[in-house]
Amino acid sequence: LAKTTQPISMDSYEGQEVNITCSHNNIATNDYITWYQQFPSQGPRFIIQGYKTKVTNEVASLFIPADRKSSTLSLPRVSLSDTAVYYCLVGRDDKIIFGKGTRLHILP
Amino acid sequence: EPEVTQTPSHQVTQMGQEVILRCVPISNHLYFYWYRQILGQKVEFLVSFYNNEISEKSEIFDDQFSVERPDGSNFTLKIRSTKLEDSAMYFCASSGGPSVYGYTFGSGTRLTVV
């Protein structure tokens, strides 16, 4: 799996849009970009996956520039319940290797 | 929404004892995994399992560990002769295909070795 770099932590306020950027300079042609979310004392949960441009689902949007060397997870109008660790994963292998993720803390 | 079920949610065991952590993957999934997360640290891959055999394991998954799918529905992780450093959350996951997309994780078993 390609190495990824993302901020260790972020703070935001309820109602704001939060953007978490992940760098993956060594992404391979066939690699997908996948984001997982982990709440305290729970297992990780798949949020969104994309290959290029933009993907949107009911939870988040994923923006991927043309060079695919980075990606941005966008969470619209966050609430306190969005406080979690967010993991950016790049690859297409048959196992997930988690990094340290971004610890997002939503403030009231 | 289909779930991966893990039991027990919390287990306390004495050092040197054997423990079995149980998981019921999603019924039509074919790929199964165990991960662990030591308190405050990242989620670590232990082992992947497909077609009734281990397909890959990490350096953490030494002879102390074993996995089994005894009856077609359960997927177990056995830890022999537990050590203090085995204390962690253990997560089971399953997926329908060999891809990072579509992993479903259970809520975990918190193992405390005393």
B24 touches chain A (CB under 8 A): no
Cross-chain residue pair B101–A49, CB shorter than 8 Å: yes
Q: What is the pLDDT of residue B67?
A: 97
Summarize pLDDT for B8-30 with one digit per residue, the tens: 999 999 999 999 999 999 998 98
CB-based contact A64:A52 (threshold 8 Å): yes
CB-based contact A47:A36 (threshold 8 Å): yes
- What is the rounded average pLDDT for all residues in chain B? 93
* B16 vs A18: CA distance, rounded Å: 46
Q: How far is B113 from chain A (nearest CA, A)?
A: 18
- What is the rounded average pLDDT for all residues in chain A? 92
Q: What is the pLDDT of residue A15?
A: 96
* A98 vs A89: CA distance, rounded Å: 7
Using a CB-CB distance cutoff of 8 angstroms, which residues of chain A are in contact with residue B44?
Answer: 98
* Cα distances (Å, whole numbers) of residue A92 to A77, A100, B113: 31, 19, 35
Q: How far is A102 from chain B (nearest CA, A)?
A: 11
Q: What is the pLDDT of residue A99?
A: 87
Between A45 and A92, where is the model more confident?
A45
